Amino acid sequence: MKDQMWDLHVYFFLGLGRLSQAEEYLAQAQWTVLKTPECPDSIKSKLFRNLGLLYAAQGNYPDALSQLADEDRKSTRLNSSHRCISYAVFCLKKK
């Protein structure tokens, strides 16, 4: 359950438009993932998705596209692809 808390915090802060706080949580999560080679793909997938959503909210569409595409690849391997993420990647390619 603890590994899910950062994910909920990020969604909460993104939803409230508190991008700097979301970015802080994601920076900590990203550091942890980089320092944990055995980190499960499901956690990496959530990290990529949340980074993509943050970058899109900041208007940084190239980085958003890159992160969401990474999430799409990870979740496809996990057989849990999120249709909304695939759609977001499609929309960002149009920008």
As averages over each run of 10 residues, the pLDDT of the chain (95 residues) reads 68 88 91 89 84 91 85 61 54 55
Whether pTM > 0.85 for this model: the answer is no
Q: How far apart are CA 61 and CA 51, in angstroms?
A: 11
Q: How far apart are CA 23 and CA 40, in angstroms?
A: 21
**What pLDDT shows up at residue 23?**
93
Q: What percent of the chain is helix, strand and coil (3-state, nearest 5)?
A: 80, 0, 20
Burial class of residue 52, CB neighbours in 10 A (0-12, 13-18, 19+): buried
